[in-house]
Structure 1
Amino acid sequence: MAELARVVALRKVDDVLADVTATAKELIPGVDLAGVLLVGKANSFETLAPTSELMFRLDELQIRFGEGPCLEAALDEIVVRIDDFRDEPRFPNYAPEVVKLGVRSALSFKLYTADRTAGALNLFGYEPKLWDSEAESIGMILAAHAAAAILASREGEQLQSALSTRDRIGQAKGIIMERFKIDDVRAFAMLRQLSQDTNTKLTDVAQRVIDTRGE
């Protein structure tokens, strides 16, 4: 656990999540499959760090039916536990399909991800009634590591985007200053006015100025 905490900020998010799902199989008896499901708008979803190709199928079925432990954990509950899919009334469409795939039990943990994306760490077993409160405690800690890695990655992406935006606006200001022999305050005012007049994002206006600087 301590090692996972140390590497969250130092490694790529995919590598950290792969460690989380592998560690879940190692530390929690009975975990045969593990993965992370991220759910976005309009039924968009992504399966990350699966320990088996079967995880893709399990997640796909949940999105298709709009039900399942991973979705419920991602969108509503903190922990969702399934002792036996053969006797699970909460998911009448999903459960029978999972049983056909040989999966009997599940344990899903909410990931506290930001913005408009929900997520869950999902563990599945081929045998029924596998997990106790200790398994849930370990799973919640691992879910916290997964969420931290995802949030760190998103913050890094946002920082890079902000730096790129600032750079583009700076380049556009320089071009306008040279072209019209004005100072940077006036150049920025012209960019902003053009953005408002054309109902175009300031960054898009700046990019247009850069693209047409030779014209």
Structure 2
Amino acid sequence: MEWQKFAEEMAVLARTLLKQDSVQQTLDEIAASAVRLVDGCDAAGILAVRKGRAVTLSSCGDMVQESDRLQGELGEGPCFDLARRAEEDERVFRIVDMTRPQPDWPRYASAARELGIGSMTGVLLYTHDEDFGALNLYARRPGTFTEDIATAGWLLASHAAVALSDARTIDQLEHALQTRHAIGEAMGILMERHGMSDEDAFNVLRNISQHHNVKLRDVAQRIRDKRADKQS
């Protein structure tokens, strides 16, 4: 592994990730960068476990989604375990040779061999207070992911986690601003139509939300849509 070259590539990657326009684009760039930058990596994906189910957040390479599906279906596998056990100390896994027996995941290992997976490594994508799932790297050739290559994956994941955290923060802020705008517009409609104060208009929205168990922003959007329909 040429570490100086890899460090330069990491610097470029950090800037590239921060330029992405959405969380999904950031996830996709992380997976694609793993294949591009890590020696011997044939495919990469990001797996999360939500309510006990394996969810593929992003993939680059034809074996990723099938591998994730199998792990979720079987309830076993290194990527599934890593993402599911985010609260534990173990943050990295490395399988040097998938053609050998894997006692921890016997059913998955057998299926993985049929998929043509020879070697795997994975790293949690996380910051100090957040876990985003696991970045998993696949190679068709056994013995691909040495300790050096696994370390390269860990460095990639560390850069990616910071960029992903920033992307999520920006996405949440943009969503909050859009929600605030929608609620403000709906309140304005009620105030104009019924001569309400802003406090009364907000209370109407809140009561509808609570009574019908509908999110406040969705109530606001329905009021906006109804006015648009009347105007069209």
TM-score of the pair, normalised by structure 2:
0.76
CA deviation profile, 1:138-163 (whole Å, cap 9, x unmatched): 11111123333433333333223222
Rate the CA distance shift 1:15–1:33 in 2: closer, same or farther, 3 A.
Answer: same
Question: Residues 61-80 of structure 1: matches in 2 within 5 Å?
Answer: 61-76=70-85, 77-80=90-93
Conserved 8 A contact 1:82-1:106: yes
> What SS class does the counterpart of residue 93 from structure 2 fall into?
strand
1:9 aligns to what?
18
Question: Residues 106-125 of structure 1: matches in 2 within 5 Å?
Answer: 106-112=120-126, 118-125=132-139
- Which of 49, 59, 68 pairs up with 1:59? 68
The whole-number CA distance in structure 1 between the counterparts of 2:64 and 2:215 is 40
The whole-number CA distance in structure 2 between the counterparts of 1:34 and 1:25 is 6
1:177 matches 2:177: no
Unaligned runs of 5+ in 1: none
1:138 aligns to what?
152
> What SS class does the counterpart of residue 182 from structure 1 fall into?
coil
Shift of 1:134: 2.2
> What SS class does the counterpart of residue 110 from structure 2 fall into?
helix
1:46 aligns to what?
56
Shift of 1:114: 10
Question: Residues 196-215 of structure 1: matches in 2 within 5 Å?
Answer: 196-213=210-227
Rate the CA distance shift 1:182–1:4 in 2: closer, same or farther, 3 A.
Answer: same
Identity %: 41
Shift of 1:14: 5.0
Q: Which amino acid aligns with 2:202?
A: F
1:191 aligns to what?
205
Rate the CA distance shift 1:27–1:187 in 2: closer, same or farther, 3 A.
Answer: closer
Conserved 8 A contact 1:106-1:122: yes
1:128 aligns to what?
142
Conserved 8 A contact 1:106-1:125: yes
The whole-number CA distance in structure 1 between the counterparts of 2:16 and 2:43 is 23
Unaligned runs of 5+ in 2: 1-9
The whole-number CA distance in structure 1 between the counterparts of 2:147 and 2:161 is 21
Shift of 1:166: 1.3
2:40 aligns to what?
30
TM-score of the pair, normalised by structure 1:
0.81
- Which of 154, 174, 189 pairs up with 2:168? 154
Shift of 1:11: 1.6
Shift of 1:79: 0.4
> What SS class does the counterpart of residue 136 from structure 2 fall into?
strand
Conserved 8 A contact 1:34-1:122: yes
Q: Which amino acid aligns with 1:78?
A: R
Post-superposition, which runs of at least 4 consecutive aligned residues in structure 1 deviate over 6 A?
113-117
CA deviation profile, 1:28-52 (whole Å, cap 9, x unmatched): 43323322223333525125141x2
